[in-house]
Structure 1
Amino acid sequence: MFFSKHIAKQGANKAEKFDYIMQFLKRMAGNEFIGFSNATFQSEKETGDRNYAIGYYLKEKKCFPEGADMVSALDLYFQLCSIEVNCQSGSVIAATLANGGICPITGERVLSAESVRNTLSLMHSCGMYDFSGQFAFHVGLPAKSGVSGAILLVVPNIMGVFCWSPSLDRIGNSVRGIHFCHELVNLFNFHHFDNLRHCAKKVDPRKETRESQHKTVVNLLFAAYSGDVSALRRFALSAMDMEQKDYDSRTALHVGAAEGHMDVVKFLTEGCKVNPFVEDRWGSIPLQDAIRFERHDVVKLLTEYQETYVKKQMGAEEPISLENLESMV
């Protein structure tokens, strides 16, 4: 579904189509491991009599576009069946689908929202072979299984899961993987039709307790203190409020400016567009902290950012004077 528009493009050979799909999957996986098993490809090609029969039936019913080569299409299909992932890369692919098509590792939009919606609808209705109906009834989440023992599970807007256990049932699904999915929705109210307000017997991880909120603030400010931009990027991609305050009303920008971490300040200002005028309980803003600790590069950056921020907030076309800027501070 993701690739049909590009695969059908005239002039592209099988190698170009396969390479495009591999690169696409790598983007979905945040550049984690994506491999290919030639042994699996040869086995699929030699034993795919049913697929050849279905292909010829579709060709007889004029289902292929004019000029399309059915055998080449099947060959590409067998190649795609032989692509390999591990639990890490598979989970990132699942998380990309759960995140509306935006990879949570790189922040890149790989899929449109419409493509994600259509893909999850297909996974929900027919992703688990002949077990799809029962899975939709008992688990109520979009998933895709494979005869390798893998199950890719998507909890929309929350997380993606990839589990692998080779013991299969008679339908071809992982026995332990199915059991895990049942246990997951028994514990959490992730089922598509679970009530979010009156499902008292299940846990809702989307509701933050006061203790977890405090922990979130501590993690955010500690990342700013230690200069860990990678952690800040993960927090931002998980929709965390990057302007959260601690008990002293200090934000991550206060801490980053005081410590002189240019990368942190640049990420919070340019990437997260945080408010530079937030005051702590002593009435100081991040720029004043940078001045106090003589972080000259940070002072210059914050001064320029404050002017840009004021223009954007006020919709001003004229340059903001220093007097007006200081009065706002």
Structure 2
Amino acid sequence: MLPEGDEDEDEENITTTATATGDAASDDELEQMSRKLGEMSPFVRQHLIHVENRFFDMFGDKEKQTININKFLTALAATGMRPSDPRLKETYTNLKKVQEKMASNDLQTLDTDYDTFMSIICENLEVLVKAFSSSFIIPDFRGFCHHLDQIYNSCKNNTNGKVASYIPQLARLKSEHWAVSVCTVDGQRYSNGDVNVPFTLQSCSKPLTYAMALGLNGTDTMHSYVGMEPSGRYFNELCLDYNNKPHNPMINAGAIMTAALVKPHLSAADRFDFIFNMYRRLAGDEFLGFNNAVFLSEKECADRNFALAYFMRENKCFPEGTRLHETLDFYFQLCSLEITAESGAVMAATLANGGINPLTGDPVLTVDAVRNTLTLMHSCGMYNYSGQFAFKVGLPSKSGVSGCVLLVIPNTMGICLWSPPLDNNGNSCRGVQFCMELVSRFNFHNFDNLRGQYTTKFDPRTVKAESNAQILFDLLFSTAAGDLSALRRHWLSATDMEAQDYDGRTALHVATSEGHEEIVEYLLIVCEVQPLPKDRWGRTPLDDAISFNHPCCANLIRESCNKKGIEVPSVSTNSILGVSQ
């Protein structure tokens, strides 16, 4: 297995620490934070010029004038970003320096002042603004993850299929392995199951190598040697199309031809180095290896592939000067490249993102190459099940006999699924089921959005719009519950904090009636609401505070009136009588 490359020790330490912090946060906390971030996004967009202050308001302590780093990192995790994201490298490097300076190893209790916090995030401010303004492709990422968890668990119970046995090394894979990893075009990450267990790409390498070859040779040259039609035949059948070419690059004959067209003038060693580097760029420098045992096993069991190669040479299919045995070795090497579900998801996301790696910004593939690749994946990517898969799922995909499925939702995300048991067509049983259930919940099918079509499917790419009545109800309900975080969310979302219900009651009325001092203080000092609004009965929040025996709340209102130069009224008859509404 090839090494992944050395990493900076300090960066590795802070990544480990931050990951542990994210793991410590409960799903409920992450879900709540995700919801808050989604609803505060309009305010952030409107006030980007003051975004630094808004970050401080979101996670800071007004009284101490400090910000808790753990709250900030937990909120960041809720958006789908990871500490390992290269777009946050400077933030975590700066955070490590701050930790060392403050001699603090515990992010849970690490509080910093405003200037220190800004020194930590300033270099990655652009991506942080995008994350916290819900500008990522999946605004409510935690809610989306809950759906994925449910689908994952449903598919886990699928015990159908058998592990591929024609290659001895593949036969040793455990049928219990099941992994799902997602990477969106904005770098939001989700993983569940055996996502760090390496497996070989096998046929999932075919569309990726084809996309690289297209970039090197151009579409016309490529398709003068290989067709673009579904074959209707088995993936390794000894046949050519009516033009004496392999039917498409997704079957063995077409993949061997594609391998022949990748840097044929280079030595075998240089060709492998070139392709390995390209795959590493596709994966954003995440895990990529080479399984020599599988490579040798592939060669030992390659009678049909040798027959295909000789058959094509007999029919003069190869470019002049093709070194046949070297080309076959190169093809077997491509099938023996090793990934994890995590790195596979980044590869699929690069396809979904038009060839640009969403984590590194590296333009690995050309847009034209990606378009052509996705087209052929859609029509030819799932062996003899390709037509039904295109009909039922409607998304580009490619499967391999190791149990891998690469699924691409263009302009949205890439998904890597891995489970070794295969159906009669050679596709992962759990992988196919996952794809089916995914499009049954979400309108990801290419034709789900036809005009006039009614669907009950959910589109996670849209922000749920709320009516003014819903917003007001949530504001008053949150106030009654004493939920300061929800209140902060409303303020950051530019909600009218002085809005009145049918009876003229405001959030300040509710807070004083319930005796929530912290809420009253926040409304008066941070939101600067008027201290004495009247409801339909003429009662003010001061009346409610006195009536329900909350003297601290009453004092806060009096202090606000004094600061604003508002005359404090005498106690009304209603408050003396204790009349409540």
Output the TM-score relative to the length of structure 1: 0.62
Residue 374 of structure 2 is matched in structure 1 by 120
- Percent same amino acid at aligned positions? 57
Residues 8, 109 of structure 1: alpha-carbon distance in 2 compared, 3 angstrom cutoff = closer
The 5 Å alignment of 1:1-329 reads 1-4=210-213, 5=216, 8-9=262-263, 11-195=265-449, 198-210=453-465, 247=494
Q: Distance in 2 between matches of 1:10 and 1:172?
A: 31
Displacement after TM superposition at 1:120 (Å): 0.5
Q: Distance in 1 between matches of 2:445 and 2:323?
A: 42
Partner secondary structure for residue 42 of structure 1: helix
> Which residue identity lines up with residue 208 of structure 1 in the other structure?
V
Residues 46, 117 of structure 1: alpha-carbon distance in 2 compared, 3 angstrom cutoff = same
> Which residue identity lines up with residue 349 of structure 2 in the other structure?
A
Displacement after TM superposition at 1:168 (Å): 1.1
What is the aligned residue count?
216
Q: Distance in 1 between matches of 2:382 and 2:455?
A: 29
Q: Distance in 2 between matches of 1:2 and 1:185?
A: 26
> Which residue identity lines up with residue 76 of structure 1 in the other structure?
F
Q: Distance in 1 between matches of 2:262 and 2:394?
A: 33
Q: Distance in 2 between matches of 1:37 and 1:128?
A: 24
Displacement after TM superposition at 1:108 (Å): 1.3
> Which residue identity lines up with residue 247 of structure 1 in the other structure?
A
Select the structure of larger CA radius of gyration: 2
Residues 80, 203 of structure 1: alpha-carbon distance in 2 compared, 3 angstrom cutoff = same
Deviations 1:228-284 (A, max 9, x none): xxxxxxxxxxxxxxxxx8539xxxxxxxxxxxxxxxxxxxxxxxxxxxxxxxxxxxx
> Which residue identity lines up with residue 211 of structure 2 in the other structure?
F
Instruction: Structure 1 unaligned segments of length 5 or more: list them.
Output: 212-244, 249-329
Partner secondary structure for residue 414 of structure 2: strand
Displacement after TM superposition at 1:19 (Å): 1.0
Residue pair 1:141, 1:192 contacting (<8 A) in 2 also? yes
Displacement after TM superposition at 1:10 (Å): 5.3
Residues 167, 10 of structure 1: alpha-carbon distance in 2 compared, 3 angstrom cutoff = closer
Residues 9, 28 of structure 1: alpha-carbon distance in 2 compared, 3 angstrom cutoff = closer
Output the TM-score relative to the length of structure 2: 0.36
Q: Distance in 1 between matches of 2:291 and 2:448?
A: 40
Q: Distance in 2 between matches of 1:199 and 1:148?
A: 38
Q: Distance in 2 between matches of 1:8 and 1:97?
A: 19
Residue pair 2:212, 2:369 contacting (<8 A) in 1 also? no
Residue pair 1:127, 1:142 contacting (<8 A) in 2 also? yes
Residue pair 1:125, 1:133 contacting (<8 A) in 2 also? yes
Q: Distance in 1 between matches of 2:340 and 2:264?
A: 33
> Which residue identity lines up with residue 212 of structure 2 in the other structure?
F
Partner secondary structure for residue 417 of structure 2: strand
Alpha-carbon RMSD: 1.9
Residue pair 1:91, 1:161 contacting (<8 A) in 2 also? yes
> Which residue identity lines up with residue 456 of structure 2 in the other structure?
K
Deviations 1:15-46 (A, max 9, x none): 11111111101111111001110011011111
Structure number with higher relative contact order (C-alpha < 8 Å, ≥ 6 residues apart): 2
Deviations 1:121-180 (A, max 9, x none): 111111111111111111110001111111110000111000111111122111111000
Residues 152, 209 of structure 1: alpha-carbon distance in 2 compared, 3 angstrom cutoff = same
> Which residue identity lines up with residue 107 of structure 1 in the other structure?
G
Residue pair 1:151, 1:163 contacting (<8 A) in 2 also? yes
